[in-house]
Amino acid sequence: MPVSSTADDQTADDVDGAALPINELFYSLQGEGKLTGTPSVFVRTSGCNLRCWFCDSYHTSWEPTHGTMSINDIIEGIQSHGDADHVVLTGGEPLIHDEAVTLLERLDDLGYHTTVETNGTIHRDAPIDLASISPKLASSTPTAEKDPKGDGEWADRHKDRRIDFDALGALVDDYDTQLKFVVTGPDDLPEIESLLADIRSTAASRIPDSDVLLMPEGTTRDEVDARRNEVADLAMEYGYRYTPRLHVDLWNDAPET
Ligand SMILES: C[S@@+](CC[C@H](N)C(=O)[O-])C[C@H]1O[C@@H](n2cnc3c(N)ncnc32)[C@H](O)[C@@H]1O
Ligand SMILES: Nc1nc2[nH]cc(C(=O)O)c2c(=O)[nH]1
Ligand code: SF4
Ligand SMILES: [Mg+2]
Distance 57 CA to ligand 4 centre (A): 6
Residue 17: the pLDDT is: 82
Measured CA to CA, the distance from residue 155 to residue 49 in angstroms comes to 12
Indicate whether 130 pLDDT > 80: yes
The reply to whether ligand 2 has any atom less than 6 angstroms from the CB of 257 is: yes
The reply to whether ligand 1 has any atom less than 6 angstroms from the CB of 171 is: no
Q: Where are the domains of the chain?
A: 12-251
Distance 24 CA to ligand 4 centre (A): 11
CA-proximal residue: ligand 2, atom 4 (nearest)? 31
DSSP-assigned states of every residue in 106-164? HHHHTT-EEEEEE-SS----S--SEEEE-PPPGGG---TTT-SSSSSTTHHHHHHHS--
Q: Domain 12-251 falls in which CATH fold?
A: TIM Barrel (3.20.20)
The reply to whether ligand 3 has any atom less than 6 angstroms from the CB of 45 is: no
The reply to whether ligand 2 has any atom less than 6 angstroms from the CB of 28 is: yes
Atom of ligand 3 nearest to the CA of 57: 8
The reply to whether ligand 1 has any atom less than 6 angstroms from the CB of 180 is: yes
CB 44 within 8 A of CB 87: no
Distance 91 CA to ligand 2 centre (A): 9
Which is more confidently placed, 9 or 89?
89
Residue 46 counted as an annotated binding residue: no
Residue 8: the pLDDT is: 44
In the chain, % of residues over pLDDT 70: 94
Distance 33 CA to ligand 1 centre (A): 12
Q: Is 38 helix (H, G, I), strand (E, B) or coil?
A: coil
Q: What is the ipTM of this complex?
A: 0.99
Q: Which long-range contacts (CB under 8 A, 24 or more apart) does 196-203 make?
A: 198/165, 199/135, 199/165, 199/168, 199/169, 199/172, 202/165, 202/166, 202/168, 202/169, 203/168, 203/169, 203/172, 203/173
Residue 103 counted as an annotated binding residue: no
Q: Give tens-digit pLDDT for 228-246.
A: 999 999 999 999 999 999 9
Q: Give tens-digit pLDDT for 32-53.
A: 999 999 999 999 999 999 999 9
Residue 134: the pLDDT is: 99
Residue 159 counted as an annotated binding residue: no
Distance 99 CA to ligand 4 centre (A): 21
Residue 202 counted as an annotated binding residue: no
Measured CA to CA, the distance from residue 132 to residue 61 in angstroms comes to 18
